[in-house]
Chains A and B, each alone.
Chain A
């Protein structure tokens, strides 16, 4: 059961703000100021602006945390409060932490590396390297609240945090924890920004998933946390339930490091496996929160995959990509999109794919262009596909 949510993104630094942006179709894609982007064809992304760590952390604490760790802690704090979990300085062996991560402390490691390479007068501070490991975010969340149950950090690039939520649910099911703090955090770094640019998969304009004019993705950053809780434990506490986590799949395409298998067979397998594991029939699915990065190839293959998995029914399921608003948050993308999917179920709306204008012959489904729809949503699939051919699909359903 999902009993708490926390989010920190370019379109909302809290769940209410995030939900409002999704409902209004407000995008957060704008100039990048985090590092110098003058070298690159694209200069925009969904960077989190006006972020002052001092608003959230004491200076002594924030210095030891990477930007990703800070985002993770902020989102975790909101989710833990939302779920009314008592974290009173007592150890909690019944609560575990499983996060997906990406760049971790890469941003400050880049500063170190640059100073080293350019032989700048100021010697690089080794402490810039301390929070480098992606698992450090999991460690700090677990430590701050004394959550000493099971622990794991999934690092499968763009599907990391989706898998982290699925694995967290497994850990509860297997009786290793009553409550799991799951989700993920990731930040932009020059490495990923430049890397995707050299692969020519970044749109110089804000991304337009599934649109005929699409030229690539817009990067993003942020954190999203969901509180997963065993049903009886949640009922015993009398806490409100947002939705039920039904099941997931995580499979390998075994095809190519960066390109999806072109017929969509492999991605459709992820969706079918997830539905099978969740005992959900294709005709029960009300909405698909797409991976929808906005690259010409990805959106075409994902569309094909949805058709393979759903047949004729594909044409009547709304499919949207919130990456058009929040950017591609990489290691955090799966969790950000899971939170969006849970909000869809809890508040009865489907967020739009913004910037969608021109229909593409290859992408001919209902992509919920530009405006959100107010309608009851019972069952949602959320797709996350990654480098290395990792495909994860989550299934969420209204609890009643």
Chain B
């Protein structure tokens, strides 16, 4: 890599905790952020649960007069961005606003407003349609609103790449920093779990539901029966090395390598994940050990098993195979869950622990890695491999070091 890139701040609005400290405790305790949804009526659906963000008060982060105009995803993204900047000890000013950028992965951002606006189109006359809803129907609504609220005038982009949306956004941010297009980029992901999204996933029978084994997010467990949707916003501050040095701040960690690739063909998915891992590790000595793998396991049959096979392929000997866990067991799955996982990785590198895969009880012969289950492990972690797997045929891998 031509330029060293560091993580210097994180901001998290999650179902297991609002703010970095609560999030950190949540990860260590293995807190379950998934519960019965009462934000909307789930009676028509077999699935009932989600990883809803609760205890988030937008008024702590955004002037009341502005909140009304913002969709929920934008509110969470603004709050997470403010927290991340504070955590990095940065303020966006008239002089540094042009070298500060923002690139977020968008998980169905704009969908809630699209549904509300379209409902008006179907049910009402032209004059009954609410023009206020329309601007925030675009996927880049959250990114746009953060840039407006915080005065970020540098590189500005929004990325959607199925379940690797946040990984794709973070990788684009790294490329922009490496190209010198910005000194600092806020990146990560935001997801909003709206009723229409829940309805759509339910209609497509993509959700876990209780048929004997409970409606639980339990990656790698033999009784796993599908994903549970989550939501939230996680923003990480990525910063060029010289800028970090000049500011004299202590970073969480460093980006050592990354890669995002397409699929050769579905039957070779495992090989393609391995290719992403190899490319991400390309810049580092082969003998460098990986202390922890942040797993993409999402409690679906396919992804968890595919991941296990790919990791075995990339780390053939039992001895060198790193411990793996998936925090999606606590927060559920979303398109941009990679942002949340990256914020967790930053804490793992700084605080020295490995968060558990909770709800894990019965091993699956198809997923036979060294999983950290049910309880966090206290251990110094110097390198983390973060894998992103999208059944749409996108595989991402990001390697971090302390």
Interface on A for B, CB 8 Å cutoff? 39-41, 91, 93, 96-97, 101, 106, 109-110, 113-114, 117-118, 124, 126, 129-130, 132-136, 138-139, 142-143, 146-157, 163, 167, 170-171, 173-174, 176, 190-191, 194-200, 250-258, 266, 269, 277, 386-390
Instruction: Establish whether residues A167 and B262, one from each chain, have CB atoms under 8 Å apart when the complex forms.
Output: no
Segment at the A interface, from B21-29, B152-160, B243-251, B286-294 = B152-160
List the A residue with the shortest CB-CB distance to B392.
A139
| A70 to B196 Cα, complex, angstroms | 25
7 example contacts (A-B, Cβ-Cβ < 8 A) are as follows A39-B126, A40-B126, A113-B118, A152-B161, A252-B156, A388-B145, A389-B147
> B residues 94-139 with Cβ under 8 Å of A?
97-98, 101-102, 106, 114-115, 117-119, 121-123, 125-126, 129-131, 134-139
| B393 contacts chain A at the CB level, 8 A cutoff | yes
- Chain A binding surface SS class: mixed
> B residues 196-216 with Cβ under 8 Å of A?
196, 200, 203-205
Interface on B for A, CB 8 Å cutoff? 97-98, 101-102, 106, 114-115, 117-119, 121-123, 125-126, 129-131, 134-141, 143-145, 147-148, 150-162, 165, 168, 171-172, 175-176, 178-179, 181, 196, 200, 203-205, 259-265, 268, 272, 275, 335, 392-394
Instruction: Establish whether residues B157 and A154, one from each chain, have CB atoms under 8 Å apart when the complex forms.
Output: yes
CB within 8 Å for A191 and B137 given contacts A110-B118, A129-B200, A148-B264? yes
Q: Which are the 6 A-B pairs with shortest beta-carbon distances?
A: A388-B144, A252-B156, A195-B134, A198-B131, A91-B264, A155-B139
Instruction: Establish whether residues B115 and A113, one from each chain, have CB atoms under 8 Å apart when the complex forms.
Output: yes
List the B residue with the shortest CB-CB distance to A390.
B156
Question: Which of A106, A148, A390 neighbours the largest number of chain B CB atoms within 10 Å of its CB?
Answer: A148
Residue from the list B119, B147, B261 in contact with A252, Cβ < 8 A = B147
| A292 to B158 Cα, complex, angstroms | 23
Instruction: Establish whether residues B144 and A154, one from each chain, have CB atoms under 8 Å apart when the complex forms.
Output: no
Q: How far is the CB of B302 from chain A (nearest CB, A)?
A: 16
| A106 to B98 Cα, complex, angstroms | 34
Q: Which B residues are CB-close (under 8 A) to A101?
A: 160
Instruction: Establish whether residues A257 and B144, one from each chain, have CB atoms under 8 Å apart when the complex forms.
Output: yes
Question: Which of B134, B165, B260 neighbours the largest number of chain A CB atoms within 10 Å of its CB?
Answer: B134
Instruction: Establish whether residues A133 and B160, one from each chain, have CB atoms under 8 Å apart when the complex forms.
Output: yes
Instruction: Establish whether residues B261 and A150, one from each chain, have CB atoms under 8 Å apart when the complex forms.
Output: yes
Q: Which A residues are CB-close (under 8 A) to B101?
A: 252
Q: How far is the CB of B162 from chain A (nearest CB, A)?
A: 5
Instruction: Establish whether residues A156 and B160, one from each chain, have CB atoms under 8 Å apart when the complex forms.
Output: no
Q: Which A residues are CB-close (under 8 A) to B178?
A: 174
Instruction: Establish whether residues B162 and A133, one from each chain, have CB atoms under 8 Å apart when the complex forms.
Output: yes
Instruction: Establish whether residues B262 and A257, one from each chain, have CB atoms under 8 Å apart when the complex forms.
Output: no
Residue from the list B98, B126, B134, B261 in contact with A151, Cβ < 8 A = B261
Q: How far is the CB of A295 from chain B (nearest CB, A)?
A: 14
Residue from the list B98, B130, B168, B261 in contact with A148, Cβ < 8 A = B261
Q: How far is the CB of B271 from chain A (nearest CB, A)?
A: 10
CB within 8 Å for A257 and B135 given contacts A191-B117, A250-B157, A390-B156? yes
Instruction: Establish whether residues A157 and B121, one from each chain, have CB atoms under 8 Å apart when the complex forms.
Output: no
Q: How far is the CB of B248 from chain A (nearest CB, A)?
A: 27
Instruction: Establish whether residues B204 and A129, one from each chain, have CB atoms under 8 Å apart when the complex forms.
Output: yes
Q: How far is the CB of A303 from chain B (nearest CB, A)?
A: 22
CB within 8 Å for A142 and B262 given contacts A254-B97, A388-B147? yes
| A142 to B148 Cα, complex, angstroms | 34
| A386 to B147 Cα, complex, angstroms | 13
Q: Which B residues are CB-close (under 8 A) to A148?
A: 261-264, 272, 275
Question: Which of A109, A157, A174, A386 neighbours the largest number of chain B CB atoms within 10 Å of its CB?
Answer: A157
| A195 to B150 Cα, complex, angstroms | 27
Instruction: Establish whether residues A117 and B122, one from each chain, have CB atoms under 8 Å apart when the complex forms.
Output: yes
Residue from the list A40, A167, A195, A266 in contact with B137, Cβ < 8 A = A195
List the A residue with the shortest CB-CB distance to B138.
A157
CB within 8 Å for A194 and B129 given contacts A93-B261, A106-B114, A133-B162? yes
